[in-house]
Amino acid sequence: MRMLLTSNGIQNAVIQNAVVDLLGMPLSEARIVVVIDAILPFPGDKSKFVDHLTQIRSLGWAEFDVVSLFAGPASLVESRLRSADVVLGYGGSNHWLAHAWIATGLVPVLRAILDEKVYVGWSAGSMIFSRLHEASVVAFDDQDEVDLFELGTGVPALPLLDWFLVPHLGASYFPDHDDDWAARCGPVWFLDDESALLVRDAKRRPEIVSSGHWLRFDESGSLIEHA
């Protein structure tokens, strides 16, 4: 398993170097596909999304593809996902992204990607693997978002991890995301936008990839590690 769960994408040299190490080749020789479903259901301006795609593309990939999981027959989407060396799950709604994998029947492909490719999560794309996903809906007051997208409840795409990841520690665009808020659904890793978690084995503690700040809370909401 080569899963790099980031708060804000491949935004610094430390995280970029981790991707290169996982790939075993330069980015210039690798193909990436960006899964964009998490952002698509939200109304409003998408300029920041376009900026982020431009930033990812500027890293110099051999091939840069963008796909929605609903963008055609599942067999065609699957072939695009499998042809990439890196699959990046972009941010937005983790609840809708998990739903998209399930509704399209592509969860087995996601499972294979985790075994065979490099998976990079970006915010919501990092949040779809926790067994605490449903509990997080209540803990983080996400029911309005779940209702907006008519999902009923929030479920993970793949329930692999016994902890939950919360992105954007200290980010000005989420001023209410403080330590007390993040500790509601322990065990939790709370990452700033310069940090990521590298998962090679879902049953083991992830490796920290960071040039910034992160916090780790246990089941009771107590802070047990930080940097």
Map out the domains of the chain with their CATH numbers. Answer: 3-226 (3.40.50.880)
Are 164 and 3 in contact, with CB atoms under 8 Å apart?
Answer: no
Tokens of 6: 């980031």
* Across 46-72, average pLDDT: 98
pLDDT at residue 166, rounded to an integer? 96
Q: How confident is the model at residue 177 (pLDDT cuts 50, 70, 90)?
A: confident
The contacts of residue 111 (CB under 8 Å, 6+ apart) are: 158
pLDDT at residue 176, rounded to an integer? 87
pTM of the full structure: 0.97
13-56 pLDDT tens trace: 999 999 999 999 999 999 999 999 999 999 999 999 999 999 99
83-135 pLDDT tens trace: 999 999 999 999 999 999 999 999 999 999 999 999 999 999 999 999 999 99
* Across 212-223, average pLDDT: 95
CA distances from 37 to 13, 40, 54, 139, 166 (A): 27, 5, 17, 24, 19
